[in-house]
Amino acid sequence: MEKKNVFLRMQEMEEQMEHMHSDLGELKLLVKELLEENNRLVLENERLRIILKREAQLMEERVASSIPHHPHEVLEDVVGEGYDNLARLYHEGFHICNVYYGHLRTEGDCLFCLSFLNK
């Protein structure tokens, strides 16, 4: 092999290594983002399980303690209870608007959620 060919081949290999290095950097960033999202989702899932468990216990207690006499009373209780549950979820840090429903609020108040609560 000629000296020029060896030098050209070494340059090609060096370029390939630089390309692989940049690809590796991009993959590392992607893995970092995925790990952060996974961690956020695990925490959100744990919070939701705790809330769901608490809500199930409260619902069981309500059903056991009060049986309404008229069907109209059931409708009024459900409407008021639904609003109360949404307001509680919002104050616990979750979106209740149709845009981001169920996601954690990380940037303060949401105008969509607030307008929904004020209806």
Give the annotated binding-site residues for Zn(2+). Answer: 95, 97, 110, 113
Say how many C-beta atoms besides its own lie within 10 A of residue 74's C-beta: 12
Distance of CA 47 to the CA centre of its chain: 11
Question: Which amino acid, residue 87?
Answer: A
Rg (CA), the chain: 28
Residue corresponding to tokens 């929904």: 116
User: Coil, strand, or helix at residue 118?
Assistant: coil
Q: What are the beta bridge partners of residue 94? A: 104
List the binding residues: 95, 97, 110, 113
